[in-house]
Amino acid sequence: MPITKMKGKIVLITGASVGIGAATAMAFAAEGAKLLLAARRAGKLAEVASRALEQGAAAVHSVGLDVRDRNAVQRIIDELPPEWSEIDVLVNNAGLSRGLEKLYTGRIDDWEEMIDTNIKGLLYVSRAVVPGMVERKRGHVVTLGSMAGEMVYPNGAVYCATKSAALAISDGLREDLLGTPVRVTSVDPGLVETDFSLVRFHGNADRAAKVYKGLEPLKAEDIADAILWAVTRPAHVNIARITLSTVHQANSLLIHREQ
């Protein structure tokens, strides 16, 4: 059975400058897609764009974007050049975790950043992009969730809550799109070795490294591979959800570390 081909398709990836976002850009570039890359860090985004062209992307268009800025999100989508406006795939990847403290001692600024990025940013981008997909009668929305969205772990209540919300938003969007050809997928990984922990611990590299000590975590490329697989299924097949983890992890609470 033929799969949906990506050559020439327009793929918008938020948070595309590092980690899973950058790896996803490479995966779609290798399939000849046109990449619309969005992130806050212009320098790193330019590096990803250059690598993507070398990897085989048909074209790359980069935009500086903080998904927390509702007006900026809508303006950028509205003002896309005509040749970039018909987005085929949206990868809602922008997200982060800040802090690992008990709820009653947590930093409210950390909470605000997670909620504004992981929930509100997800909503802003989806609201700006999905109407065009419905109008064109084609499209696929992929949201980066987390295993943390299905089971809360100690000291991570707010982050886990944002990922639980992301899953609910993904499920709700799929329901609201019923009767259209637009597909919706949530990709929910466990431990992935990226800058995630470095960001969580506000740049503390030693503390970040301990998260992955004694185990082989997932790589960003593993997640990108799952995203590409979901998007390239036959047009009538909707992969609603993919949960994946390293063999060293059963869920958010059970992790085996080698001595």
Q: For residue range 83-139, what is the model confidence (pLDDT) as tens digits?
A: 999 999 999 999 999 999 999 999 999 999 999 999 999 999 999 999 999 999 999
- 252 in a domain, yes or no? no
Residue 42: the pLDDT is: 86
- 185 in a domain, yes or no? yes
- 104 in a domain, yes or no? yes
Residue 214 pLDDT > 80, yes or no? yes
Q: Which of 124, 153, 159, 212 is catalytic?
A: 159
* CATH code where residue 212 lies: 3.40.50.720
- Number of structural domains the chain divides into: 1
- 259 in a domain, yes or no? no
Residue 1: the pLDDT is: 40
Strand order in the sheet with 59-64: 59-64, 34-39, 10-14, 89-92, 140-144, 183-189, 241-244
- 249 in a domain, yes or no? no
The tokens describing 60, both together, are 């790359």
State which residues form the domain around 28. 10-244
124 annotated active-site? no
Percent of the chain with pLDDT over 90: 94
Question: With helix as H, strand as E and coil as C, how does 53-118 read?
Answer: HHHCCCEEEEEECCCCCHHHHHHHHHCCCHHHCCCCEEEECCCCCCCCCCHHHCCHHHHHHHHHHH
Q: For residue range 69-85, what is the model confidence (pLDDT) as tens digits?
A: 999 999 999 999 999 99
HSE-CB at 32 with a 13 A cutoff on CA atoms is 6
Percent of the chain with pLDDT over 70: 98
- 5 in a domain, yes or no? no
Q: For residue range 27-65, what is the model confidence (pLDDT) as tens digits?
A: 999 999 999 999 998 899 999 999 999 999 999 999 999
Residue 4: the pLDDT is: 53
Residue 133: the pLDDT is: 98
- 181 in a domain, yes or no? yes
What's the count of helices (H) and strands (E) in the chain, helices before strands? 9, 7
Q: For residue range 3-14, what is the model confidence (pLDDT) as tens digits?
A: 458 999 999 999
Residue 259: the pLDDT is: 73
DSSP 103-169: GGG--HHHHHHHIIIIIIIHHHHHHHHHHHHHHHT--EEEEE--GGGTS--TT-HHHHHHHHHHHHH
- 75 in a domain, yes or no? yes
